[in-house]
Structure 1
């Protein structure tokens, strides 16, 4: 049975409490990305959310990671917090002009994280999605939308995302709206419930469950046990899956991601 690629990782790679837990104590800070990219299969870049980067920085990140590794990129907060659509559109354009395409083949989806203070406004969301480029510099661009206000739990939002082939982020184990409708040719999930008391962040049953969901998504099926607002997506061709362990007990997140990777590799054998 055909299956898409499943990319598993964490948010960022610089976090002091990971030293001695994930990173060896004697690892130079300059080699943290090199180390993380050889133990995980993806990383969600969050530095781009807070400040503009340059083509040289994106190129440096690309060169520091092995073949097959993929970054997702968290888009600038200015693009998702601006009250006026015209300002948001300008921020979107500035982001793509900043050099993100220098990641080349290692560029995965772009994550647009709407804040919890932004309620669902169909006109704004439609205009925002319409402004997202489907391609740039000859490269296809994939987009994921994370909605954190409860009002986004609407079939209308699902329909808009599906019409623009933008993935609604599946916010797992969190207080944010959990919308598991498949709206794009790929799936983007963020797990936010790791616990400090668990060495791998989650217990074995929970890790098994998320690994099985990722496997189903990758094979073109749906995770029918998660809440949907529209009809479940029919089985289709294989999809790529991007699964990030975010928030929760952050110190445990690399261990949780590594445990998921181990399970998925065991399934593939």
Structure 2
């Protein structure tokens, strides 16, 4: 994943402080009364061959990756549907490999969002919705990322697309055009529109795009995309901050939390998720299942293990 990528040598100089919650977020949470949220944690893909021997058993076939992935995580952010229009037979097949509580969170296909930029896309949208229908009760929220070139001047197009969707769909929107964040009037207008129409807002935490860490919830649900940097020490301190913010939101009645782990190289996503879940369970009293790593066979030639970044965090070795 290239979004928000920076020179690793600059990471220590970046201010990763999470902004305070905007007034709109506080208002959304104060209007709810939910004792304990549902929490979903996962990655962006399951097809990682380098997870074989790490969280997938040695010798696992690619056709069985999803089945094993679902034993560790309870959701998936499906970037695969962005690059290829899904079919019912395909999504039915994926659904059959997971348990009843697992959630697929498919991304709208790029032909809709990038090719046509949400205009004259009824036929494509119908095909997409027909394709993801195969997920049935395993369908989670749908992820809409308008083309990065779509800024505040396209709000009417965005609203027309969203309000033309079936009302029972759970949709979250991610903005990447900087204009939404640099203009306070545009920011207020578009997030108020999402609130009014009951659509969620995606919060993306990436090193090089701190404006996308806007902290504005438009429904009592959070959809967080965290982009790490290969287990750099700042990955852990950033996770610590997110755990505390989630704890705060839980105290105000948030209903659902979706937390997706990304890395510019996805090799180490399971390690960082394991750390996130452990800290979440510790500080928030949750009972989210941690991914289980396969014990590595030691040899006479092994070096002593590397120490954790702060003396309490996992080793950066896989």
> Normalised by the shorter chain, which TM-score bucket?
0.7 to 0.9
Contact 1:190 1:244 in 2 (8 A): yes
Moved segments of 4+, more than 6 Å: none
Q: 1:175 to 1:131 in 2, by over 3 A?
A: farther
Contact 2:203 2:224 in 1 (8 A): yes
Contact 2:100 2:137 in 1 (8 A): no
- Aligned-pair CA distance for 1:75: 1.3
Partner of 2:178: 150
Partner of 2:136: 104
Partner of 1:57: 90
- Aligned-pair CA distance for 1:82: 3.8
Contact 1:62 1:103 in 2 (8 A): yes
Which of 265, 272, 279 in structure 2 is aligned with 1:256?
272
Q: Deviations over 1:229-267 (max 9, x none)?
A: xxxxxxxx4411111012434211122123222333342
Cα RMSD, aligned residues only = 2.3
Contact 2:113 2:147 in 1 (8 A): yes
Q: How does 1:15-34 map to 2 (within 5 A)?
A: 15-34=48-67
Partner of 1:184: 219
Q: How does 1:131-142 map to 2 (within 5 A)?
A: 131-135=164-168, 141-142=169-170
Q: TM-score, normalised by structure 2?
A: 0.70
Q: How does 1:230-241 map to 2 (within 5 A)?
A: 237-241=253-257
Query: Mean Cα displacement is larger for which, 114-123 or 145-154?
Result: 114-123
SS in 1 for 2:244: helix
- Aligned-pair CA distance for 1:158: 0.8
Partner of 2:104: 71
Partner of 1:227: none
Tell me if 1:128 matches 2:144. Answer: no
Q: Distance in 2 between matches of 1:109 and 1:261?
A: 21
Contact 2:112 2:118 in 1 (8 A): no
- Aligned-pair CA distance for 1:73: 0.9
More strand by share: 1
Tell me if 1:209 matches 2:209. Answer: no
Contact 2:117 2:146 in 1 (8 A): no
- Aligned-pair CA distance for 1:7: 0.2
The structure having more radius of gyration, on CA atoms, is: 2
Tell me if 1:113 matches 2:157. Answer: no
Figure out how many residues of one structure are paired with residues of the other and give that number: 244
Q: TM-score, normalised by structure 1?
A: 0.81
Q: Distance in 1 between matches of 2:175 and 2:39?
A: 23
Q: How does 1:4-19 map to 2 (within 5 A)?
A: 4-19=37-52
